[in-house]
Structure 1
Amino acid sequence: MTGAGGMSTHPELAEMRERLERTASSKPAILIEGLILLAGVYAAISPWIVHFHTGSPNITASNLIVGIAVALIGLALTMAPGRMFRLAWVVVPLGLWLLISPWVATVTHTASAGTIWNNCVIGAITALLGLAAMGLTVGMRRRQHHHHHPR
């Protein structure tokens, strides 16, 4: 049984939360969060920028939905980085979906070259940004572990 304050007042947990918030508010983290937000907005509006075929409602809807999801995660990361940073891993599979969706979501016909190029580029960028965001938290945990267990 925990004490009156529970685990939330444990000194190591408070220190870990403080380090996560420091890492999440670092310049590289702020840049990555902003780029995730922009990638999501672009993915959402790209069907109208690149002029996807009007006969491709699946890929248009897919980009709109996935783009909004990525943008919302990016927005959440910028507004509450300490609490939302663990959500960054979700950006990777969303980026991978954008990458493969021209072949998966267009069942009746093949996607145009513009659609394929658009989704490959924005999907790869989104997945890489998700990996970079995850790397920041992993790097922070590694430094934290190394700090508590000197050799």
Structure 2
Amino acid sequence: MSYPQHSTGPGMSSHPEIAEMRERLERTAASNRAIVVEGLIVLAGVYAAISPWVVHFAAQPNIAVNNLIIGITVALVGLGLTLAPERMFRLAWITAPLGVWLIISPWVVTATHGARAGIIWNNCWLGAITALLGLAAMGMTVGLTRRTRQ
């Protein structure tokens, strides 16, 4: 059985639209709006990670570990968007579902499926802000890919 031979000609990296998309990505990543959104995503992630100790619900280990893991994840996504936007811009969408998870997690993760009011308020506000920041980051990447296709 023989397999077809592939040419060793120029690949997609030399395609003119790829170069244009990289240029637009660099401009978008360097914009003030992108810098603010990325920084706020990092801050939201850091706060989510430390919130069990700030709001004093570290005594409930399930929700504390949940917030720590989600917070570190959100902060790493924000840091990745800041440091390597050309590699991470497609991963920006993950921030919005993580924000939604922060909203519903006090009822899902706690052992009695009912958390204290402070935990609920903290996670609902933090989750809403994180989801909105994720949507803003997604909006920048959607606008970038839509402009490239036109």
TM-score, shorter chain, exceeding 0.5: yes
Report the AA paired with residue 32 of structure 1.
V
State the distance in 2 between where 1:64 and 1:127 align. 17
- Provide closer, same or farther for how the CA distance between residues 108 and 5 of structure 1 changes in structure 2, counting only shifts above 3 A: same
Counterpart residue number, 1:49: 54
Offset of residue 131 of structure 1: 0.3
Q: Is the counterpart of residue 130 in structure 1 residue 105 in structure 2?
A: no
Q: 1:10 aligns with which of 12, 15, 40?
A: 15
For the aligned residue pairs, the C-alpha RMSD in angstroms reads: 1.4
Query: What is the CA distance between 1:53 and its match in structure 2?
Result: 5.5
Q: Which runs of 5+ in 1 are unaligned?
A: 147-151
**CA shift at 1:81, angstroms?**
1.3
Separation (CA, whole Å) in 2 of partners of 1:2 and 1:87: 32
> Where does structure 2 lack aligned partners over 5 or more consecutive residues?
1-5
Residue number in structure 2 paired with 1:144: 148
CA displacement at 1:62 relative to structure 2: 0.2
Deviation, 1:5, is: 3.1
Deviation, 1:86, is: 1.1
Question: Is residue 2:90 matched to residue 1:86?
Answer: yes
| Corresponding residue for residue 19 of structure 1 | 24
SS in 1 for 2:90: helix
Distance in 2 of aligned mates of 1:129 and 1:23: 16
**Normalising to structure 1: TM-score of the pair?**
0.90
Q: Would you say how many aligned residue pairs link Structure 1 and Structure 2?
A: 145
Match of 2:104 among 71, 94, 100: 100
CA contact (8 A) 2:48 2:70 kept: yes
The amino acid that maps onto 2:22 is R
